[in-house]
Amino acid sequence: MATSAIIFYTISGVMILFSLLAVTSRRILRAAIYLLFALAGTAALYFMVDYQFLAAVQLIVYAGGIVVLIIFSVLLTTHINEKLEKPTWGKVFITATLALGGLVLTLFILTNHEFVLGTKPSAEATVSVIGERLLGYQAGGYVLPFEVISILLLAAMIGAIVIAKRNATKS
Amino acid sequence: MLLISLIVIPALTALAVMFARNAQQVKTLSATGMSIQLIQSFYLLYEFLKERSAGNSETVLFGNRLEWYPSLHISFDYGVDGISVAMILLTSIVIFTGVFASWEVKDQAKEFFASLIILATGVFGFFISLDLFVMFLFFELAVIPMYLLIGIWGSGKKEYSAMKLTLMLMAGSALLVVGILGIYFHSDVNGSHSFNIIDLANQNFPMEMQRIFFPLTFIGFGVIGALFPFHTWSPDGHSSAPTAVSMLHAGVLMKLGGYGCLKVAIYLMPQAANEMAWIFLILTSISVIYGALGVIAQTDLKYINAYSSVSHCGLVLFALLMLNKTASNGAVLQMISHGLMTALFFALIGMLYSRTHTRIVHEMGGLMKVLPFLSVCYVIAGLASLGLPGLSGFVAEMTIFVGAFQHPDMFHRVITIIAISSIVVTAVYILRVVGGLLMGPIKNEEYNNLKDATWYERLATVTLIAAIVIIGIAPLWLSDIIMESLGVILR
Amino acid sequence: MSYSVTIFILILPLTVFVLNGLLSNKLSHRLAGWLATGSMGIATVLAWLTAYNYFFQSSSYEKLIPFQITWLRFTETLQIDMGILLDPISVMMLVVITTVSLMVFLYSMGYMQGEKGFIRYFSFLSLFSFSMLGLVVATNLFQLYMFWELVGVSSYLLIGYYYDKPEAVAAAKKAFIVTRFADFGFLVGILLLSYYTGTFDFTKITNPENAAIAGMTGISFMGLSVLTLALTLIFMGGAGKSAMFPLHIWLPDAMEGPTPVSALIHAATMVVAGVFLVARMFPVFSFHAPEALDAVAFIGAFTLLFAAIIACTQTDIKRILAFSTMSQIGYMMLALGVSGYGSEGLGFTASMFHLFTHAFFKALLFLGAGSIIHALHKNDIREMGNLRKHQPITHIVFLIACLAIAGIPPFAGFFSKDEILSAAFASNPIYFGIAALAAGLTAFYMFRLYFLVFWGNERTYEHSPHESPVLMLIPMIVLAIGSIFTGFIPFGNFVSSDSQPLQAHLNVTVAIISVMMAILGITVAWIFYKKESLLPEKISNMSGALYHTVVRKFYIDEIYLFITRKIIFNLISRPIAWFDRHIIDAFMDFTATATNWVSKEIKGLQSGQLQHYGYIFLSGVILIVLVMIFTNT
Amino acid sequence: MMEHVPISHVLMVTSTMFFIGAYGFLTRRNLVTMLIGVELMLNAVNINFVIFDRYLYPDQIEGHFFALFIIAIAAAEAAVAIAIFINLYRNIRSIDVEKVDNMKY
């Protein structure tokens, strides 16, 4: 078994483990931390496929930004010692059945599908290439989605502020 | 230009009304706008007659096409033939008098007059447009404000009635959309689909298609034309609506049904009309008799008038289904005549109600003594309704009966005789009301102090009566311009 | 003088109607009244001039159309024209209508003085005159029908003149509705006739050589030829307007109107419109539809006797006259019914002759009755007596009219009635018997009235009766002169079925029988009613139920009431109104309620629980994927 | 670097992660933990984009961009979501999803 394979399976194991923990842990802060690990694992995967930039973004935005946001909100909305109540058995049962059923179905399709692997040499995803593509307006340029995303982010930012802002007249 | 200004003027008036500062301004603006509209309509008639006498025999006059949405072949095609001119005249007279009849609306006058005039805009647009899609658009524009007008300014069970009326008319519209789209997708004008009525009229739609879409369009328009058994919105709607709205609704809006049936259903799908006429003939003759008999047992003036409208409008559709020129001519005449007299009726009922605060016939009595002017007008309206020669009702009914009776088929003649028997029933209920309401001793002491009509009420009623009398005495010009257009429609 | 002047005979009353109607609260009573009467005077002069020109200045009595415009076009062939058709009967009618109208207008000036609705009254009266004149000069069936309706409505308005009296309102309504019902038949008849002939024109329809008409006799429907059917229906219209059995019920009630109105409309002119109609269509009846003519004769004869019998038992002075009118119109119808065409057309001439003379003496009777009512303010003859002392002139003219209607020579009624009896005699002895019997009854009930009112004991009156003003007396005297002398007109020379002079001879046998009957009737009346006597009461007590049946007018009114109120109102209208609200409308409401219900029932699915949506979503996705997999393989 | 790992294995991992996220989303009642579930799912999908790109179309980097955009959107979504949670908490003193059903029907 090649080193890379070993690394991959290790990472995968970590990711799945922490994902599971993240959705089952009864301490909410821990759940957030477990999520952090799962996201970091993802970043590692990106490194493995040579997408360094993406991996960096994943770490900064996801692991750095979102998880911190989540932790903040947890701190704002729950007591640190509070344990989440256990979901009812019925709920767990239904959900687990559904999730497992979906998983089995997906795996069934996966295993039965013949993937045609690409044979061409892999393209480099250097920062300069990414920058040119993102701001390019010729074929393959992503300037329009880029702008749209910018607007979305702006709108989300304003929206978040407006929603979260304490209502001046109310209190 | 002439036609465009027919919808621009009311639209502008509605807009101006919204900017008015007080109720007085609102009324002045509306009255001015609608007077201009009335003058315009007469000018249109004059121009139309001038063109026709100059030998211009095109199907529609003053027409034009404004591209609107070329990829779906929707364009604002407009133009008028004799029928449209007649209906436009009717509409402008009714809306003109409607404004004066609602002179006393106080709360939210601005919104009331604006909605009323927007409704009229829709009607004018409907009558001038030649494009099915635009026509439908205007149709909806005319129907929707009705909900607000009844729901907000109505009386009695107004929310219920407004909802019922709107839902039933919308259900009709739904059928209509399917019908119109069906026609559109089956058309083939120079390799593409079309919404233009004139183009569509030259299509020979296959019989299978006509069999599906004729009933859809006919019932779709029939709902607003009070086709049995889809007429029940009419009594409730009319009884809850404020005066001017009843006038406009029974006077004009119900006529969109007949007009649409003629200009869309029958004009575009003549073979199916011919084949299926008998079904609808039975329904409409039921309308005629059933409506008339139903009136006798009513006690509320507005219900009485609503049911008699069902009967009279049933006669319109009945005549159209005879599919010959004379009867159809009668149908159009009946639309105009009924529009005028029912508007007069509703105006008078509103005026009486504002004085006596009741609409129940047997609670009133002897009003002739205290309200001579209004009572005489009521009698005239009644006489017009029962078809007195010299008033418009006679002209219309007789044209229908003579035309319908010329049908070579025995079934049609027998059913015509059944329809004719409605004139007896009409006389019964009209005279019952006139006798109970206006004659006899005064039942309520308080009525002795009632004031007779004010100047604006006089203006409204006299205008309508003048129109009724003019058509009743000299119907030939009107009948001729209608007949001419029918020649094209009933090829 | 050209005939186009005749148009003014129509325009004058119309103008007065419009003027008086529009300016009813501006004009003074005097001005309005004289305006109406003056115009009617001019119209009368014009009518007499027209008649003079027509009958004496031209040799042959052609049908003339001095004026005609197209009023409404239905199809290429069918159109309504408005025009004036002059032929012997229409000219004769013009004279009758204008003359009687003028008299009634004059009379009304006195009778209606001080009434609040004086101007309205003259306005309506002018409308009536206009419509009636338009009716008789109509050039086509549809024009006739239009004026027919107008006449009906002016009759409605005038009967309901005292609109605050419930009885008057009910009577007006009844009159209009009953005639409307008859007009329904009339209209269908017109449509039927025009459908086959393709025309409304009298000149074409009544042309005996018209092929389309002859063709109609060949088409049969339910055993009758279409033409017979059409003509019977048209006659139905005439029967309604002329108060023939069984459509007569409105006429007695119509007496609620002012008395001059009864004189003009319900005695002299409008009610004979039905006779006029049959006379107008006579060639068609006579040549192509003898069955329809038989119906006319039968109905005429039946009504003649029926009304005369009822008249003998009534006590309201105007109702007696109303029944008498019905009976006399029965004579006219009978005469038309038994008449032939051309040289056999004695009945036709007799009918028109009787129409002519009847207009004078019946109008006179009503005006006399009006004069009495004007003085006494009551209608019941049992409360009257010995009026000859108080109203000598009224008494004399009334007597003249009674003699005229009873058929005593040399008064007008004798000649016309004699012709009718001869025509009936020539046709069918049964009809003759009925007519002769009715002649006796006529004399009896008229003189019963006469003796009870003018003789008998003095009664106590609230204020002592007085003779009527001059304005009322003049017309009565004029009409009385007419009632005496019109009988000497050689009527057959002017009016006949084929416009050829017809020599009518006095049939001596018939004359003797009829005079005998009349004298018998008068004698019986004299015995019964000259002095206070117990005889009539004894006889009425003896006949018991029969007598009551007659007093109640054979319960025809009750039958009608039963049909209209119980059957039409309670069994048809109300159920329909109920059905509409509770079945049809309820169905529409039900669709709405059902939609509402369904939405209420399924809204639980929208629980607001995010995770429920999640379950459904996920299971949906899995399901769809499963379906796709299994359908692909 | 991944030539020794078959694509299906990677996909199995991501699918597992996805359904774990779904499980979390559906069982948790606390809105924040539900959000964690959503993040997991997004992440799994993101990996898929990258992996498909790398294995099937190595000469292109479109998957990379998709992943990039998804990350951006996820960030925005998280920000808005958390703002909503905070506001909600302020109003009803709880961020339990089962209590948030005011807008049903």
- How many CB contacts within 8 angstroms connect chain C with chain D? 28
Which among D20, D39, D83 has the least Cβ separation from residue A160? D83
Write out the H or E segment, with its range, that includes residue C70.
Answer: strand C64-73
The gap between the terminal CA atoms of chain B, to the nearest Å, is 30
C629 close contact with A: CB closer than 8 A: yes
| Per-residue model confidence (pLDDT) at position B35 | 92
Q: A86 lies in a domain?
A: no
Grade residue A167 by pLDDT with cuts at 50, 70 and 90.
Answer: low
Does the CA dihedral B280-B285-B286-B291 come out positive or negative? positive
At C550, the amino acid letter reads V
The b/e string for D21-59 (b: 16+ C-beta within 10 A; e otherwise) is bbbbbbbbbbbbbbbbbbbbbbbbbbbbbbbbbbbebbe
Write out the H or E segment, with its range, that includes residue B288.
Answer: helix B270-296
Residue B118 CA, distance from chain mean position: 16
B438 close contact with C: CB closer than 8 A: yes
Q: Say if residue C246 is preceded by a cis peptide, omega within 30 of 0.
A: yes
Q: Are residues A128 and A77 in the same domain?
A: no
Mean of pLDDT values over C243-272: 85
Residues forming beta bridges with residue D30, ordered by sequence position: D96
Asked whether the beta carbons of residue C622 and residue A94 sit closer than 8 angstroms, the reply is: no
C625 close contact with A: CB closer than 8 A: yes
Per-residue pLDDT of C217-228, as tens digits, reads 667 776 678 888
Q: Which domain holds residue D88?
A: 7-93
User: What is the 8-class DSSP label of residue C499?
Assistant: S
D22 close contact with C: CB closer than 8 A: yes
Smallest CA–CA distance, residue C18 to chain B, in Å, is 12
Within 8 A of C633 by CB-CB distance, chain A residues are none
A138 close contact with D: CB closer than 8 A: no
Grade residue C1 by pLDDT with cuts at 50, 70 and 90.
Answer: low
| Per-residue model confidence (pLDDT) at position B468 | 92
Above 60 in pLDDT, residue C208? Answer: yes
Distance CA B101, CA C88 (A): 52
Per-residue pLDDT of C92-118, as tens digits, reads 888 889 998 998 888 888 888 888 888
Nearest 5°: phi and psi at C84? -125, 125
A134 close contact with D: CB closer than 8 A: yes
CATH of the domain at A7: 1.20.120.1200
Q: Judge contact between A22 and D40, C-beta under 8 A.
A: yes
pTM, two decimals, is 0.83
The rounded percent of chain B whose pLDDT value lies above 90 is 23
Q: Judge contact between D3 and A50, C-beta under 8 A.
A: no
Q: D35 lies in a domain?
A: yes
The rounded percent of chain D whose pLDDT value lies above 70 is 95
| Per-residue model confidence (pLDDT) at position A168 | 57
Closest residue in C to A113 (Cα–Cα): C629
Q: Are residues A3 and A68 in the same domain?
A: yes
Q: Which domain holds residue A12?
A: 1-81
Share the mean pLDDT of chain B.
88
Which among C606, C615, C618 has the least Cβ separation from residue D105? C606
Distance CA B234, CA B225 (A): 9
Above 50 in pLDDT, residue B106? Answer: yes
Number of compact structural domains in chain D = 1
Q: A111 lies in a domain?
A: no
Distance CA B491, CA C19 (A): 47
User: What is the 8-class DSSP label of residue C207?
Assistant: -
Rg (CA), chain B: 21
Task: Return the structure tokens found at B421.
Answer: 């028997």
Smallest CA–CA distance, residue A171 to chain D, in Å, is 11
Above 90 in pLDDT, residue C397? Answer: no
Within 8 A of D12 by CB-CB distance, chain A residues are 107, 110
CATH of the domain at D12: 1.10.287.3510
Which among A2, A58, A160 has the least Cβ separation from residue D79? A160
Residue C494, classed as helix, strand or coil, is helix
Asked whether the beta carbons of residue C619 and residue A98 sit closer than 8 angstroms, the reply is: yes
From A60, A81, A102, give the residue that closes a domain.
A81
Phi-psi region of C617 (alpha: psi -120 to 50; beta: other; left: phi over 0): alpha
Closest residue in C to A98 (Cα–Cα): C619
Residues forming beta bridges with residue B131, ordered by sequence position: B196
Q: D19 lies in a domain?
A: yes
B326 close contact with C: CB closer than 8 A: yes
Q: Are residues A127 and A63 in the same domain?
A: no
Smallest CA–CA distance, residue C612 to chain D, in Å, is 8
Mean of pLDDT values over B133-153: 89
Smallest CA–CA distance, residue C619 to chain D, in Å, is 12
| Per-residue model confidence (pLDDT) at position A171 | 46
Per-residue pLDDT of C325-381, as tens digits, reads 988 888 888 888 888 887 777 888 888 888 888 888 888 888 888 888 888 887 887
Q: A153 lies in a domain?
A: yes
- How many CB contacts within 8 angstroms connect chain A with chain D? 239
Grade residue D14 by pLDDT with cuts at 50, 70 and 90.
Answer: very high
| Per-residue model confidence (pLDDT) at position C269 | 86
Asked whether the beta carbons of residue A22 and residue D40 sit closer than 8 angstroms, the reply is: yes
Q: Are residues A74 and A139 in the same domain?
A: no
The b/e string for B217-245 (b: 16+ C-beta within 10 A; e otherwise) is bbbbbbbbbbbbebbbbbbbbbbbbbbbb
Asked whether the beta carbons of residue A28 and residue D85 sit closer than 8 angstroms, the reply is: no
Per-residue pLDDT of C564-614, as tens digits, reads 777 777 788 888 888 888 888 888 888 888 988 998 888 877 777 888 888
Window 565-624 of C: residues touching D by CB (8 A cutoff) are: 603, 606-611, 614-615, 618
Which of A9, A30, A54 would you mutate first to test chain D, the one with the most D CBs within 10 A? A54
Grade residue B469 by pLDDT with cuts at 50, 70 and 90.
Answer: very high
B194 close contact with C: CB closer than 8 A: no
Mean of pLDDT values over C69-85: 85
Asked whether the beta carbons of residue D19 and residue A20 sit closer than 8 angstroms, the reply is: no
Number of compact structural domains in chain A = 2
Within 8 A of A94 by CB-CB distance, chain C residues are 615
Grade residue B437 by pLDDT with cuts at 50, 70 and 90.
Answer: confident
Q: Are residues A5 and A57 in the same domain?
A: yes
User: What is the 8-class DSSP label of residue C60?
Assistant: S
Q: A104 lies in a domain?
A: no
Q: Judge contact between C119 and C32, C-beta under 8 A.
A: yes
Asked whether the beta carbons of residue A28 and residue D7 sit closer than 8 angstroms, the reply is: no
Q: D20 lies in a domain?
A: yes
B398 close contact with C: CB closer than 8 A: yes
Smallest CA–CA distance, residue A5 to chain C, in Å, is 32
Within 8 A of A21 by CB-CB distance, chain D residues are none
| Per-residue model confidence (pLDDT) at position B336 | 92
Distance CA C411, CA C357 (A): 9
Closest CA to D80 of D37, D44, D31, D46: D31
The gap between the terminal CA atoms of chain A, to the nearest Å, is 64
Residues forming beta bridges with residue A105, ordered by sequence position: none
Neighbours of C508 (CB within 10 A): 10
Mean of pLDDT values over B26-43: 91
Mean of pLDDT values over A127-134: 87
Hunting for tokens 């230009």 — which residue is that?
B1
Asked whether the beta carbons of residue D97 and residue C611 sit closer than 8 angstroms, the reply is: yes
Above 60 in pLDDT, residue B232? Answer: yes
Q: A76 lies in a domain?
A: yes
Asked whether the beta carbons of residue C622 and residue A95 sit closer than 8 angstroms, the reply is: no
Which among C607, C611, C618 has the least Cβ separation from residue D104? C607
Q: A45 lies in a domain?
A: yes
Closest CA to C254 of C188, C344, C178: C178
Q: Are residues A76 and A3 in the same domain?
A: yes
Q: Judge contact between C137 and C6, C-beta under 8 A.
A: yes
From A50, A81, A112, give the residue that closes a domain.
A81
Q: Judge contact between B393 and B386, C-beta under 8 A.
A: yes
At C9, the amino acid letter reads I
Window 38-97 of A: residues touching D by CB (8 A cutoff) are: 38-39, 42, 45-46, 48-51, 53-54, 57-58, 61-62, 65-66, 69-70, 72-74, 76-78, 84-85, 87, 91-92, 95-96
Share the mean pLDDT of chain C.
84
